[in-house]
Amino acid sequence: MKTSKKLVIAYSGGLDTSYCTVLLSKDKKFDVHAVSVNTGGFTVHDIDTIRANAYKMGATSYKNIDAVSTFYQKVVKYLIYGNVLKNNTYPLSVSAERMVQAIEIIEYAKRIDAKYIAHGSTGAGNDQVRFDMIFQVLAPDIQIITPIRDAKLSRQEEIDYLVKNGIDKSWEKSKYSINKGLWGTSVGGDETLTSNTPLPESAFPSQLKKDREDEEKVTLTFQKGECIAFNGVKNSPEVNIQLLNKRASAFAIGRDIHVGDTIIGIKGRVGFEAAAATVLIKAHHVLEKHTLTKWQLQHKEYVATWYGTHVHEGIYLDPVMRNMEAFLESSQTHVSGDVAVTLKPYHFTVDGVTSNNDLMNAEFGSYGEMNLGWTADEAKGFIKIYSNQNKIFNQVNS
């Protein structure tokens, strides 16, 4: 065995990682071990196809790591706790996956005593930062190799190299780049390289399967912030996410285009569909509005914004992330109950909540209607004191 040059590559089966595998195994004489990490979206057929391609490209071995539950436990549940939407739009469908994928890959490299690790990122995107940072922190002694970034290769140069080496298959780039996962699907194409062109309906993998007048009512049951049941049937949260996604995507819910600032300082635009994520975040947030105090809601908001920013930018291993996760988790103690949702073509409504922890309790009064907790004189005194600061300012500066 060529153990002295044992290398693990983050392998997707696409053009970039196929080029890297052939180059590293044939020309560079590495003992290449291909690894892919399933964070949702892989079928058995997909895995079999990727495995066959990896061996065809010269890999010594192929490993597919099932990390769907790990992805939920380590990242997704905190994104739900925080109602995280990047720029008030994007549920971090793909960027959140990269953290878990990078960790699983580097841990596998350590287990098989690999001295090198490779990925197919270019020098123009976010993933190079996310992968390299995780690899460097968890295994500083393992050398990172990035052939495409280092050589600034074009797609055609990669294709020409593979054909020259007997790998003559169809590498034509599909019109849209699709990345599926538990928490959503990204959609990239020519339109997302512009600032003004929308993605066509046909670009989205999940097509509308309902008539315009159709609607479906579903119930999401939360316990301490986690979705533990779908329509009254208990399952693990990650299974409930998949069940909800199947129902909601049939209504073409959760489509949008995200415009954001990349880690490397340029603007980026990407389409996505995230039916389950969009519905769950909204439903969870409404339940929180009923069960948390106004100060919990206010402080959660900025903590969650920073948590999502750090996940997006690859700073997942900084200890501050564990601090923020502890805060977010502790905030969920009373976030339990049922949320009623109506699914409709292209949108949905949150109809209401039922919770033993509902702070909208008629025993203490009804907003705008009846007060049971204080007298009129007490209200007048409170208002007088509450306005005192503004009165002093206006009198001093008038």
- What is 3-164's CATH number, 3.60.21.10, 3.90.79.10, 3.40.50.620, 2.130.10.10? 3.40.50.620
Burial of 62 per CB tally in 10 Å (0-12, 13-18, 19+): buried
pLDDT at site 371: 74
pLDDT at site 207: 93
Residues 84-116 as b or e (16 or more Cβ within 10 Å = b): bbbeeebbbbbbbbbbbbbbbbbebbeeeebbb
Rounded Cα distance between 388 and 391, Å, is: 5
pLDDT at site 226: 98
Stretch(es) of the chain classified as CATH 3.40.50.620: 3-164
Rounded Cα distance between 306 and 300, Å, is: 10
Rounded Cα distance between 185 and 258, Å, is: 12
pLDDT at site 1: 47
CA distances from 80 to 92, 153, 159, 291, 349 (A): 11, 39, 41, 15, 18
Q: Which residues contact 216 (CB under 8 A, 6 or more apart)?
A: 247, 251, 342, 343
Strands 177-181 and 184-188 turn out to be antiparallel
Rounded Cα distance between 15 and 121, Å, is: 11
Stretch(es) of the chain classified as CATH 3.90.1260.10: 177-292+331-354
- Distance separating the N- and C-terminal Cα atoms of the chain: 86
Q: State the fold for domain 177-292+331-354.
A: Argininosuccinate synthetase, chain A, domain 2 (3.90.1260)
Beta-carbon count within 10 A of 225 CB = 24
Per-residue pLDDT of the chain (398 residues; tens, 9 = 90+): 445 799 999 999 888 999 999 999 999 999 999 999 999 988 999 999 999 999 999 999 999 999 999 999 999 999 999 999 999 999 999 889 999 999 999 999 999 999 999 999 888 788 899 999 999 999 999 999 999 999 998 888 998 999 999 987 777 666 888 889 999 999 999 999 999 999 999 999 999 999 988 999 999 999 999 999 999 999 999 999 999 999 999 999 999 999 988 888 889 899 999 999 999 999 999 999 999 999 999 999 999 999 999 999 999 999 999 999 999 999 999 999 999 999 999 999 999 999 999 999 766 656 666 777 788 899 899 999 999 999 999 999 98
Q: Are 101 and 37 in contact (CB under 8 A)?
A: yes
- CA angle 233–238–242, rounded 5-degree value: 75
Q: Are 116 and 143 in contact (CB under 8 A)?
A: yes
